[in-house]
Chains A and B, each alone.
Chain A
């Protein structure tokens, strides 16, 4: 299940990383605005929650960590 979760995280990461840079910037997040039902503020909140190191970009590891927590949260609901 862990491998499956991480595989899914990678697929979602690619959806955000439109240019295939290998990381996600705030600008990438803002581009998702038209595609996801989230406001710019919410996308910014997501970005900042996932950007643990606050270095301005999301690495696949940070993204997977956030997704892993989400999946963990989901189990309890």
Chain B
């Protein structure tokens, strides 16, 4: 199912986004 594949890819990008934001937040007090 291509939709499911796209969803999984999006989850990876979202995780990357939130992780980056989190490390940005903790990295710069």
> Interface residues, chain A, CB within 8 Å of chain B?
8, 11-12, 15-16, 35-38, 42-43, 45-46, 49-50, 66-67, 69-70, 73-74
| Number of interface residues, chain B, beta carbon within 8 A | 14
Q: Which residue of B lies closest to A9 (CB)?
A: B18
Q: Tally of A-B residue pairs with Cβ under 8 A?
A: 45
> Interface residues, chain B, CB within 8 Å of chain A?
9-11, 13-18, 20-22, 24-25
CB-CB under 8 A from B15, the residues of chain A are 70, 73-74
What are 27 A-to-B residue pairs whose CB atoms are below 8 Å? A12-B18, A12-B21, A12-B25, A15-B21, A15-B24, A35-B24, A36-B20, A37-B16, A37-B20, A38-B13, A38-B16, A38-B20, A42-B13, A42-B17, A45-B9, A45-B10, A45-B13, A46-B17, A50-B14, A66-B14, A66-B18, A67-B18, A69-B14, A70-B14, A70-B15, A73-B11, A74-B15
